[in-house]
Chain A
Amino acid sequence: MVKYMWMLISIISFKAEMRAQVDSTKSDSLLLLEIQNQLGETPVPPPQPQVAASANPNISVIGDMRGLYRSYGTHHFDAVLNEVELSLESTIDPYARANFYYSIGEDAATGTFTSEIEEGYLTTLSLPAHLQLKAGRFKQDVGRINLVHSHALPFIDMPDAYINFFGEEGLKGDGFSLSWLVPNHSFYQELTFEGTSVGENASFERSRMLFLGHLKNFWDLSDNATLELGLTGMNGENQFGRSSNIYSVDLTYKWKPVQFNTYKSVTFQNEIYFNHADLDSIKVNSKGFYSMLSYQLSKRFFLVGRYDYSNTPFSNSYVQQSGSLTLGWYATEFQKIEVGGKYTNINEPVEEFNHEENFEQGYLRWIFIIGSHGAHQY
């Protein structure tokens, strides 16, 4: 009997427990509903299709294959895989992002490969007062083309003035770059200061820090047209162990109708370098500039003309002038083929060009990109 009593009691108590459980679930869900109401009825998002997320950086490889022709000397033609660039780009954490560009280049004459860290730097994302700091190895903020990797330029060969003053690879160094977005409401202004140990170039030695200041001004003239004016000043040590200053002005006008910006555009870009070098015995004031006009014929075709004028960092009597024309066919954002021709005149012929006064050069370039490559600056 007692046994049955116990069984009955335990059944009743179990049922009561069940009810209590049901009740508590009910009150829980009411509470949940109330919380949801208070939270503003945020709808539960529908299930998302699975997308492979990855913490890997954006990786891309860029190939730059070239065919070269020169009228001077005895060796006229070369085919060369000019450069393979590996790029890795990603944010590091909420405070900074990192960009690495590793480049392997082939020498057209010897066929030997050399590799280098083209750039490797971090950029802060969270400094106050509109400041941004870049640290590492990077291309210096001078003019328009120095910041751009060659594959993204609309011409195949670099301007003569650029090569004569900074070298084929341009001006780059290891150090710091601090830029300030000027709180100017009427137009864009950015002021940059850089202190770097520069890589090998014609104007400056690595023995002393190179200091550089750059002011970029940018105006929207209309929805379809923009104007950029850049002013750069830099001071470093030249190969005579003395001081060299280079001042640069760049002016770029772009017309790109917003509605058909993938079909039509015109770019008129100019850059001039004024060099003041204190040599052992004399002071040299020399200059170099280029003027480029790019015209987009259709969605895929670009025609680019350029005039170059250049002295050297240590001579203003040497004058190199050239005119070039490049036709580019852009298959997609990931592939383009360009052909170009260039005519050069030099008043003091040099060994590099077989002591010839006038000569022609021809170029063919095929750029191909795989992977995910970040956007280029405007």
Chain B
Amino acid sequence: MKIKFLFILTVVLFSISSSFGEVIHVVTTTQDTRSIAELIGGNKVEVFAIASGYQNPHFVDPKPSYITKLSEANLYVTLGLDLESGWSPSLLTSSRNNKIQKGSPGYVDASVGVTLMQVPSSINRAEGDIHVFGNPHYWLDPLNGKVIARNICNGLERISPENKAFFEANLKTFNDQIDSRLKTWNTMMAGFKGSKVIAYHNEWCYFENRFGLQIVDFLEPKPGIPPTPSQLVKIINEVKTNNIKVIITSPYFTSSSSDVVSKQTGAKTLVLATSVGAFDSIKTYYDLFDYNLKLLSGSLK
């Protein structure tokens, strides 16, 4: 009886674990890597992203329901560095899925090969939330999108080598799209090179670098520390002195501090999208830059 039960249990488990079929189950930590994975994987993949597009990627709650998704994934894509360090490692440990653990073929660190900015020479938490490996918001430069795409493509080819040509063709299309769109994006920003702006949190350096902005200061006195009255006074003076037109913030920060600065100086607060899905119209990685640059170029005029 016992043996029969065990046998049935084994069969059930086996059938569950092999019920994936053809499609590759990909779990990504954010919506940006979801979009790129879909563009590269096409109809061969089914992608689930953990963080929402309007969510702060540093502070995602590791809900057990994500463990269920991870336990069945063939590929896990993380933006890496220490962006998701507060929640990704514990979810991976709980997933019981050794195909996607760090070092396994199904683990993709999208940051491999990215030239990092703001790599600290020493770590001191008195400076706020300092990122050990450098600023992790690198997907906000479309050329880094090409590195992410290459890494995802490599991951897909590792677990599905028979579809290599398909993935490579999609990667080429993606790279061509980025190259051609980048020309348009650069044209949109051409008249605003060196424009001084204020940002809420230090998460725009790659975007700033690519599109020629100059972030003068942050509403947060130190990364991760909420804006203080004295910091806002300092910002108001900087905005007035430099004739700054725009304050850029993200969907997951409250607007009270930026509203104060806007009211005092007339500078416009722009809620830019930090990820795909931040706003309904941003469906793909390309849309992310279309949206932000349209908004920004319109406001800097």
- A97-151 residues with Cβ-Cβ distance < 8 A to B are 97, 123, 125-127, 129-132
Task: Indicate whether A2 reaches chain B with its CB closer than 8 angstroms.
Answer: no
Determine the chain B residues whose CB is within 8 A of the CB of A375 once the complex forms. Answer: 62, 86-87, 89-90
**Interface SS, B side:** loop
Determine the chain A residues whose CB is within 8 A of the CB of B103 once the complex forms. Answer: 94
Given contact pairs A220-B63, A259-B52, A378-B62, A130 touches B89 in the complex (Cβ within 8 A): no
A40-78 CB contact bits vs B (8 Å, 1 = yes)? 101101101101000000000000000000000000000
Whether B132 lies near A51 (C-beta < 8 A) is: yes
With the chains together, A234 CA to B72 CA distance in Å? 31
With the chains together, A187 CA to B69 CA distance in Å? 10
With the chains together, A332 CA to B127 CA distance in Å? 12
With the chains together, A91 CA to B154 CA distance in Å? 25
Determine the chain B residues whose CB is within 8 A of the CB of A377 once the complex forms. Answer: 62, 90
Choose one: B61, B93, B116; the contact of A97 (CB below 8 Å): B93
- B37-85 residues with Cβ-Cβ distance < 8 A to A are 52, 54-56, 59, 61-65, 67-68, 71
Choose one: B59, B93, B153; the contact of A125 (CB below 8 Å): B93
Choose one: A48, A333, A374; the contact of B116 (CB below 8 Å): A48
The contact size tier of chain B is 35 or more
Determine the chain B residues whose CB is within 8 A of the CB of A183 once the complex forms. Answer: 13, 16-17, 71
Determine the chain B residues whose CB is within 8 A of the CB of A184 once the complex forms. Answer: 68
Whether B56 lies near A43 (C-beta < 8 A) is: no
Residue of B nearest to A91 (CB): B102
State how many residues of chain A have any CB contact under 8 Å with chain B: 50
Question: Which of A94, A333, A377, A378 has the most C-beta atoms of chain B within 10 angstroms of its own C-beta?
Answer: A378
Determine the chain B residues whose CB is within 8 A of the CB of A123 once the complex forms. Answer: 93
Task: Indicate whether B157 reaches chain A with its CB closer than 8 angstroms.
Answer: yes
Task: Indicate whether A172 reaches chain B with its CB closer than 8 angstroms.
Answer: no
Whether A259 lies near B96 (C-beta < 8 A) is: no
Task: Indicate whether B137 reaches chain A with its CB closer than 8 angstroms.
Answer: no
B17-48 CB contact bits vs A (8 Å, 1 = yes)? 10000000000000000000000000000000
Task: Indicate whether A3 reaches chain B with its CB closer than 8 angstroms.
Answer: no
Shortest Cβ gap from A59 to chain B (Å): 13
With the chains together, A226 CA to B65 CA distance in Å? 10
Given contact pairs A46-B115, A261-B55, A262-B56, A132 touches B96 in the complex (Cβ within 8 A): yes
Whether A188 lies near B54 (C-beta < 8 A) is: no
Task: Indicate whether A353 reaches chain B with its CB closer than 8 angstroms.
Answer: no
Determine the chain A residues whose CB is within 8 A of the CB of B194 once the complex forms. Answer: none
Shortest Cβ gap from B94 to chain A (Å): 8
Task: Indicate whether B251 reaches chain A with its CB closer than 8 angstroms.
Answer: yes
Shortest Cβ gap from B56 to chain A (Å): 6
Question: Which of A190, A262, A300, A333 has the most C-beta atoms of chain B within 10 angstroms of its own C-beta?
Answer: A262
Shortest Cβ gap from B235 to chain A (Å): 19
Task: Indicate whether B259 reaches chain A with its CB closer than 8 angstroms.
Answer: no
Determine the chain A residues whose CB is within 8 A of the CB of B4 once the complex forms. Answer: none
Write the residues of chain B forming the contact surface with A, with a CB cutoff of 8 angstroms. Answer: 13, 16-17, 52, 54-56, 59, 61-65, 67-68, 71, 86-87, 89-90, 93-94, 96, 98, 101-104, 112-113, 115-116, 119, 125, 129, 132-134, 150, 153-154, 157, 164, 168, 224-226, 251-252, 254
A-B residue pairs in contact (CB < 8 Å), sample of 30: A40-B164, A43-B150, A45-B112, A46-B113, A48-B115, A49-B134, A51-B119, A51-B133, A94-B101, A123-B93, A125-B96, A126-B98, A130-B96, A132-B96, A181-B71, A183-B71, A184-B68, A218-B64, A218-B65, A226-B65, A228-B64, A256-B61, A258-B54, A258-B55, A259-B52, A260-B252, A333-B86, A374-B90, A375-B86, A375-B89
Write the residues of chain A forming the contact surface with B, with a CB cutoff of 8 angstroms. Answer: 40, 42-43, 45-46, 48-49, 51, 91, 94, 97, 123, 125-127, 129-132, 181, 183-185, 187-188, 190, 216, 218-220, 223, 226, 228, 256, 258-263, 299-300, 332-334, 370, 374-375, 377-378
9 shortest interchain CB distances as A-B pairs: A45-B113, A126-B98, A49-B119, A188-B64, A218-B64, A183-B16, A375-B90, A259-B54, A46-B115
Taking A40-B157, A129-B17, A375-B89 as known contacts, 10 extra A-B pairs with beta carbons closer than 8 A to each other, sorted by chain A number, are A42-B154, A43-B150, A48-B115, A125-B93, A130-B96, A220-B63, A261-B61, A262-B56, A332-B225, A378-B64
